[in-house]
């Protein structure tokens, strides 16, 4: 009975926190909209713009309201390298174009793409075509943040293991050790077999990298929220890593199964192309699954929050908050589930590649 009371109290406190946060965010918006309406210049709330602003990459890291952190823009042009802050071309006065005059060209941002301008202020197609953008975007900065957290966690846990040999784990070690043992005993060993130890560093890195980014981007409305694992370029890179590891780990029986399977010769024309397509489709499935699940979750949560602004009343906020809390619980499960599924499938593909031939 006491446990149920504690759980209900925790749930109620979370709902109250969300309600306070949303009301504090919604009330200024309504006041602002009212002032704009009185001035005869009301700007309609654009749900699509808000959602895509969060799930897409950006040259600045939005924190809260009008507060954002400008990120460095690094461009390689046919005339040399340009380096400047993103606030030079993003934080302009409303209704005016933001143009930065650099050493080699003038630049402006078109969507999320930076283009070079000619002397007349129009886009220089020749210069823009040769423009290479190496900027530190929000996704890059958030990835560095996740890597930093990952390194701090693993160095701390490794230090705890060396100091507490033969003792029960404690602190951060007691939190991380069950996850490490889970990846080893329930993911790597069943799928890879006796060669599992060789791939444990990769599997642990992938599992915790995806998990940390899923958790950090769990609630998109929090300040600094981002959508790294919902970016298809990131999931593509993880899938390419899986593709490379799998195909560099294969033995001769793996290739024999693809190019010379034990089937009638007339079936080769069907089975060989199917098996070759399977080499690409497996990591492709990894890419799409992670990208779609994380992005969909963020879109749903932001859409539920936007109901307050769509109906333009605070009376809808309790319903919106309840649905957001429910979705956050589902998203918490998905954060762990997607990290597990990606790591499990990667280990399964590796196991298929290194499996010895059995008669």
Please, which residues have CB within 8 angstroms of residue 183's CB and are 6 or more apart in sequence? 200, 203, 204, 207, 343
Residues 109 and 169 in one domain: no
The dihedral built from the CA positions of residue 299, 179, 342 and 156, taken in this order, carries a sign that is positive
Q: Please determine, for residue 184, whether its predicted confidence score (pLDDT) is greater than 90.
A: yes
Residues 346 and 234 in one domain: yes
Please, which residues have CB within 8 angstroms of residue 177's CB and are 6 or more apart in sequence? 157, 169
Question: What is the four-CA torsion angle of 50, 100, 103, 59, rounded to 10 degrees?
Answer: -10
Residues 233 and 349 in one domain: yes
Residue 105 confidence (pLDDT): 82
Q: Any idea what DSSP says for residue 197?
A: G
Q: Spell 253-263 as b/e; 16+ CB within 10 A means b.
A: ebeebbeeeee
Query: What secondary structure, in 3-state letters, does 114-144 show?
Result: EEEECCCCCECHHHHHCCEECCCCHHHHHHH
Residues 198 and 269 in one domain: yes
Q: Which tens digits make up the pLDDT trace of 111-170?
A: 778 888 877 777 777 777 788 888 888 889 889 988 999 999 989 888 888 887 777 778
d(CA 83, CA 99): 15
Strands (E), the chain: 60-64, 67-70, 72-77, 80-85, 100-101, 106-110, 113-117, 132-133
Q: Which tens digits make up the pLDDT trace of 269-290?
A: 888 888 888 888 888 999 999 9
Residues 162 and 82 in one domain: no
Beta-bridge partner residues of 110: 113
Residues 119 and 168 in one domain: no
Share of the chain above pLDDT 70, in %: 82
Residues 172 and 211 in one domain: yes
Residues 96 and 207 in one domain: no
Q: Supply the pTM of this predicted model.
A: 0.80
Residues 230 and 108 in one domain: no
Q: Which tens digits make up the pLDDT trace of 14-71?
A: 554 554 444 444 434 433 344 344 444 445 667 777 777 777 888 888 776 677 788 8
Q: Give the domain range for residue 228.
A: 139-354
| Total domains in the fold of the chain | 2
């Amino acid at each position: 009975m006491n446990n149920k009371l504690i759980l209900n109290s925790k749930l109620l406190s979370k709902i109250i926190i969300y309600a306070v946060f949303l009301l504090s965010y919604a009330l200024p918006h309504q006041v602002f909209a009212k002032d704009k309406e009185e001035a005869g210049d009301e700007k309609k709330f654009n749900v699509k713009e808000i959602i895509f602003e969060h799930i897409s990459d950006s040259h600045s890291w939005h924190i809260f309201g009008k507060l954002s952190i400008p990120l460095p823009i690094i461009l390689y042009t046919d005339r040399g390298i340009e380096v400047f802050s993103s606030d030079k071309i993003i934080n302009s006065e409303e209704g005016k174009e933001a143009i930065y005059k650099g050493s080699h060209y003038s630049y402006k941002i078109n969507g999320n793409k930076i283009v070079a301008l000619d002397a007349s202020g129009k886009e220089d197609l020749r210069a823009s075509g040769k423009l290479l953008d190496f900027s530190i975007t929000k996704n890059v900065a958030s990835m560095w943040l996740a890597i930093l957290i990952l390194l701090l966690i693993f160095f701390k846990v490794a230090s705890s293991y060396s100091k507490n040999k033969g003792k029960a784990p404690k602190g951060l070690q007691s939190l991380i050790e069950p996850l490490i043992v889970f990846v080893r005993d329930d993911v790597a060993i069943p799928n890879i077999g006796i060669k599992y130890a060789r791939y444990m560093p990769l599997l642990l890195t992938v599992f915790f990298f995806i998990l940390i980014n899923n958790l950090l981007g769990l609630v998109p409305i929090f300040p600094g929220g981002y959508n790294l694992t919902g970016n298809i370029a990131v999931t593509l890179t993880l899938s390419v890593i899986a593709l490379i590891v799998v195909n560099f780990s294969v033995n001769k029986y793996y290739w024999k199964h693809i190019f010379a399977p034990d089937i009638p010769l007339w079936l080769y024309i069907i089975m060989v192309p199917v098996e070759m397509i399977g080499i690409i489709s497996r990591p492709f499935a990894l890419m799409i699954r992670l990208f779609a699940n994380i992005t969909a979750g963020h879109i749903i949560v932001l859409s539920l929050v936007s109901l307050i602004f769509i109906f333009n009343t605070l009376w809808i906020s309790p319903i919106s908050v309840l649905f957001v809390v429910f979705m956050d619980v589902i998203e918490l499960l998905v954060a762990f589930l997607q990290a597990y599924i990606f790591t499990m499938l990667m280990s399964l593909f590796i196991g298929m590649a290194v499996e010895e031939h059995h008669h």
